[in-house]
Amino acid sequence: MELREYDLNMGPQHPSTHGVLRLKLAVDNEVVLGVEPVLGYLHRGMEKLWESLTYHQVVPLTDRLDYLASLSNNLGYCLTVEKLAGIEVPGRARYIRVVLAELQRLASHLAWVGFMANDIGAMSVLLYAFEAREDVLDIFEEYCGARLTLHGIRIGGAVRDLDAPLVARIRAVLGKVPDRLDDVRALLDENRIWKERTVGVGRLSGADAVAHGLTGPALRASGVPWDMRKDIPYSSYDDFDFEVPLGANGDVYDRYLVRLGEIGQSIRIVRQALDGLPDGEFAAKVPRVLKIAPGEAFHTIEAPKGVLGFTVRSNGTDKPERVKMRSPSFINLQALDAMCRGYMFSDVIGILGSLDIVLGEIDK
Amino acid sequence: MTPFVADVLIPVGKIVAVILYPMIMVVVMIWLERRVVALMQLRLGPNRVGFQGLAQPVADAVKLFFKEDIRPRQADRLLFNIAPVLVMFTSLLAFAFMPLGEPVRIGAYTLTLWIAESPVGLLIVLGLSSISVFGVIFGGWAANSKYPLMGALRSVVQVLSYEIPLGLTVLTVAFAARSMDLVEIVRRQESSGVWYGFLMPVSFVVFWISAVAETNRAPFDLPEAESELVAGYHTEYSGMKFAYFYMAEYAHMVLVSSLVVNLFFGGWLAPFPSVPALDFLEVVPGFVWYLVKIMFFLYLYVWIRATFPRYRFDSLIRLVWKWLIPLALLNFLVVALVRYLR
């Protein structure tokens, strides 16, 4: 029988594309010759919509970008607006933001481990990871009433103060998360099948990763030490002592280890931030109608998925003239083709999973 | 006992029992799998329909029965319809040769708990089990759709791999028992006083791994890998045809577990026959022992599924051809030598 190269359409309703992503795969039997992501199924015209809303009204919409890490989007946008408007954020508010952002990173990475393992076929890990994530979401619920789209960070600070019972609760959850993580690691770390599916799969060298504009854990798994929290610190991140986990081979397994390492570092940062929580206001006084003189500002943060950047241009009114977003998932996805070529069809699912994409912020 | 009862009623009753028995086990297994996996994963699982959710599989079957039967327009009608029947039929037919318990004496009449005792029973069961793979291949091919086709191709690759170690280990059992008759194999384990699973542990391990692959179960569920191939070979099936595939998978698991128990763990025999203090175990009917043993292996299936990720198919081939087949061959050689020297 003659085997021909044929196109396989994966998605937009495929169970493993994490939302409505469509991949056009060129395959020879099960060997992948090329991958072309087709985007836009979730396009909601976010950036255009923001132009008709006031600066404050944009914040809850940023929740809907990367919906697994809504606080990081809030933070990225608010920091940019504050930079543009010259708003000074109080020290306590900056610490609260760090606590929230790191808890969000924890939740996002835990969800990632679960989904990733489920894609590879280890379905129990999904439930163990989500058990831990539930605890973190419960904290969010107590903090601001929402679990997924939080809108917890506002321009000028945070929505609420961290009171003593909540701090105690966060500490309790931080003590529990490592136990759950140990369950996950016991099932995966030295599992032969897991390693066969991930070690050496989807390799990308550090130079290639930089050339593709890859950021976040996927970049650091390729051995490039680039973390906005360390390199261009924002929101008092330079006060804290933490490490940036690095991988060596740039394969799926390293991305897994890097993310698990980051969970540990996030716990460390949250503990330090809670210990050193300064007194003061939890938010700066920001006028209800915020009018910003004409200008433009760009600010980046280290979101769980990579470098998240916002460009905001103002025109003197209470509405932004233009908001442009550099979404990490969108740019990371461009490296998929380079990662998948020559690997098996089954690996595409693992590699796609290892990039940790969220369609909400790809299609915007 | 009148000849009518002995020649007509009992055989008919047995045939009905042999069809009912796997179906009941399928219902129990579907429930057990969903419930046990759920509890292993800190979930509850189905617990609403009936006692502890036991009637859930029945409810599912009723639902599937009323579903529309969809056949894709481009599908090959004959093969598309035959495939689920073939899978189900072969799984059920094999039970005719499976001894489920020791013969029961009713007066002068001996009731055997199997339909047919054949000198090549083992070969027939293995053959039927292999034919059911054709159902998978036909189903994937006939749907004329890409994901089912890939599922079918993976199935072919899988058959080419695991059937060889499976056959080689079955041969060692036939050597030890000097018979291919399943009933005779159990009787030999009784007379020799040691179960073949303990006599030839390598055979058992290789057989079990191949058997998991044969039933398309995790970590070898490549033909239906839901995160890759949507549902693999049965993606295009709906309603009762899908239910046939679904039930056949569980019937096949019961069949393979029965085979493992009969070949390696003494079928209906009570454990520890040589310890006089444990003679009271003999009072328990053979069928119960058989059930206890297969439930252990069925539980093992579920446990494995909850624990391991899925193999990629090239690593499955590597595992089988580089490890299992050489191991099975070596094991075969050793067993043959020992058998020859004794």
DSSP run (H or E) holding B335: helix B325-341
Residue A182 corresponds to which tokens in the numbers above? 């140990």
Q: Are residues A3 and A69 in the same domain?
A: no
Enter the pTM of the model. 0.82
Alpha helices of chain A — where are they, by DSSP H? 46-50, 55-62, 70-85, 91-120, 123-144, 164-188, 192-198, 206-211, 217-221, 228-231, 252-275, 328-333, 336-340, 345-355, 359-363
The count of CB pairs under 8 A between chains A and B is 79
Chain A residues within 8 A of B316 when measuring between CB atoms = none
pLDDT above 70 for A351: yes
DSSP A155-203: TTEESS---HHHHHHHHHHHHHHHHHHHHHHHHHTT-HHHHHHHTTSS-
Smallest CA–CA distance from A8 into chain B, residue? B146
Q: How many CB atoms lie within 10 A of CB B108?
A: 7
Q: Are residues A5 and A145 in the same domain?
A: no
**Interchain CB distance below 8 Å, B307 and A124:** yes
Q: What is the pLDDT of residue B226?
A: 63
Q: What is the pLDDT of residue B94?
A: 87
Q: What is the pLDDT of residue B99?
A: 84
Q: Are residues A301 and A316 in the same domain?
A: yes
pLDDT above 50 for A256: yes
Q: Are residues A5 and A95 in the same domain?
A: no
Residue A361 resides in a domain:
no
Chain B residues within 8 A of A193 when measuring between CB atoms = 219, 308-311, 315
pLDDT in tens, A261-315: 999 899 999 989 888 888 888 888 888 888 888 888 999 998 898 899 999 998 8
DSSP run (H or E) holding A22: strand A22-28
Using only C-alpha atoms, chain A has a radius of gyration, in whole angstroms, of: 20
**Interchain CB distance below 8 Å, B311 and A196:** yes
Chain B residues within 8 A of A188 when measuring between CB atoms = 309
pLDDT in tens, B273-321: 667 666 677 777 778 888 888 889 989 888 888 888 888 777 888 888 8
**Interchain CB distance below 8 Å, A344 and B314:** yes
**Interchain CB distance below 8 Å, B313 and A344:** yes
Q: How far is the alpha carbon of B161 from chain A, nearest alpha carbon, in Å?
A: 17
Q: Are residues A82 and A221 in the same domain?
A: yes
Backbone angles phi, psi at A32, to 5 degrees: -85, 130
Q: How many angstroms separate the Cα of B298 from the Cα of each of A187, B58, B125, B207, B306?
A: 21, 19, 18, 15, 13
**Interchain CB distance below 8 Å, B310 and A349:** no
Q: Are residues A24 and A76 in the same domain?
A: no
Q: What is the pLDDT of residue B1?
A: 64
**Interchain CB distance below 8 Å, A121 and B221:** yes
**Interchain CB distance below 8 Å, A121 and B309:** yes
Q: How far apart are CA A145 and CA A109, in angstroms?
A: 22
pLDDT above 50 for A316: yes
pLDDT in tens, A169-227: 899 998 888 888 888 888 888 888 888 888 888 888 888 888 988 898 988 988 888 88
Residue A363 resides in a domain:
no
Q: Name beta bridge partners: B106.
A: B109
Q: What is the pLDDT of residue B319?
A: 85
Residue A362 resides in a domain:
no
Residue A364 resides in a domain:
no
Chain B residues within 8 A of A11 when measuring between CB atoms = none
Smallest CA–CA distance from B235 into chain A, residue? A14
Q: What mean pLDDT value characterizes chain A?
A: 86
Q: What total number of domains does chain B contain? A: 1
pLDDT above 50 for A1: no
Q: Are residues A191 and A268 in the same domain?
A: yes
Q: What is the pLDDT of residue A346?
A: 79
Residues of chain B with pLDDT under 50: none
Q: Which residue numbers of B have CB closer than 8 Å to A's CBs?
A: 37, 40-43, 146, 150, 153, 218-219, 221, 225-228, 230, 305-315
Q: Are residues A202 and A289 in the same domain?
A: yes
Torsion of CA A175, A176, A180, A185, to 10 degrees: 10
Q: Are residues A99 and A231 in the same domain?
A: yes
Confirm if B298 and B270 have CB atoms less than 8 A apart. no
Smallest CA–CA distance from B224 into chain A, residue? A121
* Cβ-nearest to A197 among B40, B226, B312: B312
Across A60-84, average pLDDT = 89
Residue B242: name the closest of B83, B99, B111 by CA: B83
Chain A residues within 8 A of B314 when measuring between CB atoms = 344
The reply to whether A345 touches chain B by the CB within 8 Å rule is yes
* Cβ-nearest to B230 among A15, A194, A346: A15
Q: How far is the alpha carbon of B229 from chain A, nearest alpha carbon, in Å?
A: 8
DSSP B100-131: -S--EEETTEEE-SSS---TTHHHHHHHHHHH
pLDDT in tens, A155-181: 888 888 888 888 998 999 988 888 888
Sequence-ordered list of residues with C-beta below 8 angstroms from that of A22, at least 6 positions apart, any chain: A9, A10, A11, A12, A37, A38, A39, A41
pLDDT in tens, B158-179: 877 888 888 888 888 888 888 8
- Domain extent, residue A38, equals 1-43
**Interchain CB distance below 8 Å, B40 and A196:** no
Q: What total number of domains does chain A contain? A: 2
pLDDT in tens, B120-142: 888 888 888 888 888 888 888 88
Q: Are residues A11 and A57 in the same domain?
A: no
- Domain extent, residue B144, equals 3-341
DSSP class of residue A283 equals B
**Interchain CB distance below 8 Å, B306 and A124:** yes
Smallest CA–CA distance from A129 into chain B, residue? B41
Chain A residues 112-141 within an 8 A CB cutoff of chain B: 117-124, 126-128, 131
Confirm if A340 and A348 have CB atoms less than 8 A apart. yes
Confirm if B125 and B182 have CB atoms less than 8 A apart. yes
**Interchain CB distance below 8 Å, A196 and B315:** yes
Q: Are residues A31 and A101 in the same domain?
A: no
Residue A360 resides in a domain:
no
Residue A35 resides in a domain:
yes
**Interchain CB distance below 8 Å, A345 and B150:** yes
pLDDT in tens, A92-128: 888 999 999 999 999 999 999 988 888 887 788 888 8
Q: What is the pLDDT of residue A80?
A: 92
List the CATH number of the domain containing A122. Answer: 1.10.645.10
Q: Are residues A140 and A166 in the same domain?
A: yes
Interface confidence, given as ipTM, is 0.73
Smallest CA–CA distance from B311 into chain A, residue? A193
